[in-house]
């Protein structure tokens, strides 16, 4: 999801459809935060 958004962002889009869901920067920041937390606690 993050990669799909970054690809779309590089093309000038502010959002992308990913697996039927509309993804924007807020979703990406949340996902990155969850990943960071998981890594911090060793998951």
pLDDT band at 31 (very low <50, low <70, confident <90, very high): very high
- Residue 29: predicted pLDDT: 97
Distance in angstroms (rounded) separating the CA atoms of residues 27 and 14: 12
**Residue 31 near residue 2, CB atoms below 8 Å:** yes
- Residue 11: predicted pLDDT: 95
- Residue 43: predicted pLDDT: 92
Strand-pair partners of 21: 18
- Residue 24: predicted pLDDT: 96
Diameter over CA atoms, the chain: 35
**Residue 1 near residue 31, CB atoms below 8 Å:** yes
Q: Which has the closest alpha carbon to 17: 4, 6, 36? A: 4
| Mean pLDDT (the chain, rounded) | 96
Q: Name the pTM for this structure.
A: 0.83
For range 16-24, the mean pLDDT = 96
């Amino acid at each position: 999801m993050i990669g799909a958004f970054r690809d779309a962002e590089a093309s000038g889009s502010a959002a992308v459809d990913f697996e039927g869901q509309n993804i924007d920067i807020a979703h990406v920041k949340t996902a990155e935060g969850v990943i960071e937390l998981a890594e911090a606690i060793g998951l």
